[in-house]
Structure 1
Amino acid sequence: MALSQVQIIQSLAEALSWFEKELNWGVPQAELRHLSGRIGELYAAMITRGQMALAVNQHGYDVVSADGERISVKTITTSSHVSFNMETFDQVDRVIILRLAVEENEVSIEELLDCTSADARTEMRVSQRKLVYTPGKLSQGRTFSDLRVTEQGMSCGILIKQLENGSILVERNGQPVNPAKPKLREVAAEIGVDILNSNGNPKNTRSLGADILTVLRSQYGQ
């Protein structure tokens, strides 16, 4: 069944939230491979306006873009490399490799590689009948400036933006504010948003920013 873009974005946000919950419960990142893989597929479907393949690892690809590209998506957390099946790699048109970066149990998505399968193949080595790619330190994917702003609101002279991958950006006078969380907490106190979640733990930047934008939209018409 095809998902709308809104459903894909909502599913991605829910999967990221669940991933962060598991981390807060003490589950090691290495044991969340299935969830991290799903996050990667949803993210790839979102940025390509595509759909997940009908079957798991269908012919070696995971997502079909709006342009009909067959995309193999790999998502890593602690691993130092990813591998592809040589037998099915000829069925792939595009390769997207992502990393889930975790800081203070808050997850962000980094694009390590996004290119055609032919270009990706030149970066791989063969090992035990698999094509192996070892990511470098620099991302070759999109930056925040490439991502669409899905919602934004202003309070206390602070502009808060939510990007299509769920990330929250904070700006003052057109300049980014880093770190964003302290300023978000000031805005939350001003408009009455709780900075703690239902478990009594501090909300992360993504959750706090999203809740602030919800209040700004519902109470202030932004």
Structure 2
Amino acid sequence: MALSQIQIIRSLGDALTWLEKEIQWGVNPAELRHLTGRIGELYVAMKTRGQMAPEVNQKGYDVVSAEGEQISVKTVTSTQHIRFNKNTFDVVHRVVVLRLNFDDDDISIEEVADMSASDFLPLCREAEEVYIYSPRQQKAVVPIGDQKAVREVSYGPYRVIEYESGTIQVEKEGVPARITKPALRELATSLGVSLLNNTGNKRNTRQLGSEVISAIEALEKPHDKRNHHIIIK
């Protein structure tokens, strides 16, 4: 049964929401290959205005674009070797490789490769029964302990820190929150900070953290008393 574009978009949103919950529960993304793979396929189907492959576990490809291209979709969560079956690669017209990036508890989809199968094949090395592709390396992540804090505020039992990379960390009574965003949402609600940006979309962790810090800084500023006079009767 073919899915409409609206159904594909909704399914992608549902899958990303479920993935976000799993991450918040502490599940390693590497253990969620079925879910991350489905997210990649839905993303490509949406991007190409296409459909999922007509059969479950379709050999060789995962999505058929609106133009009829048979697309092999691979989704990874870290840099690793990706294998393509030699016996079915001849039915592939296009290859899309995606990487899911996790920034705090925010998830973004990065397009690592998107090209015709004929252009993609020379980028692979050949093994006995597979072609092996190695995605480009991600930029090295500097540990929080090696970064400089650029802004830091306190509010009740909370301390919110913004580092030079833009990463936000929240501590409650001196203990770093395992998951940052729920604590930021709690703070934002108590401070009257909107969880949505100007376009009506949810703020990511960095955006929300920056707004929360600004709101607390505004509370900490002393009132300007130069124009106020005390009158004693």
TM-score (norm 1): 0.64
1-structure distance, mates of 2:24, 2:64: 33
1-structure distance, mates of 2:38, 2:105: 18
Cα deviations by residue, 1:15-67 (Å, 9 ceiling, x for unpaired): 11110100000111110000000000000000000000022331310000000
State the shift of 1:212 in Å. 7.2
2-structure distance, mates of 1:43, 1:214: 19
State the shift of 1:209 in Å. 3.9
Indicate the residue corresponding to 2:50 in structure 1: 50
Indicate the residue corresponding to 2:104 in structure 1: 104
Q: Following TM superposition, where does structure 1 have runs of at least 4 consecutive aligned residues deviating by more than 6 angstroms?
A: none
Indicate the residue corresponding to 1:127 in structure 2: 127
Contact 1:45 1:65 in 2 (8 A): yes
Listed as ranges, the matches of 1:125-164 within 5 Å are 125-137=125-137
Listed as ranges, the matches of 1:38-117 within 5 Å are 38-117=38-117
Indicate the residue corresponding to 1:213 in structure 2: 200
1:16 aligns to 2:44 (yes or no): no
2-structure distance, mates of 1:10, 1:209: 20
The change in CA–CA distance for 1:26 and 1:87 in structure 2 (over 3 A counts) is: same
2-structure distance, mates of 1:35, 1:16: 9
The structure whose Rg is larger is 2
TM-score (norm 2): 0.61
1-structure distance, mates of 2:13, 2:135: 25
User: What count of residue pairs does the alignment treat as equivalent?
Assistant: 157
Which sections of structure 2, spanning at least 5 residues, go unmatched? 139-164, 169-179, 186-194, 203-233
Contact 1:29 1:78 in 2 (8 A): no
Look up the SS of the partner of 1:41 in the other structure. helix
1-structure distance, mates of 2:25, 2:48: 33
Look up the SS of the partner of 2:7 in the other structure. helix
2-structure distance, mates of 1:89, 1:6: 30
Identity of aligned residues (%): 52
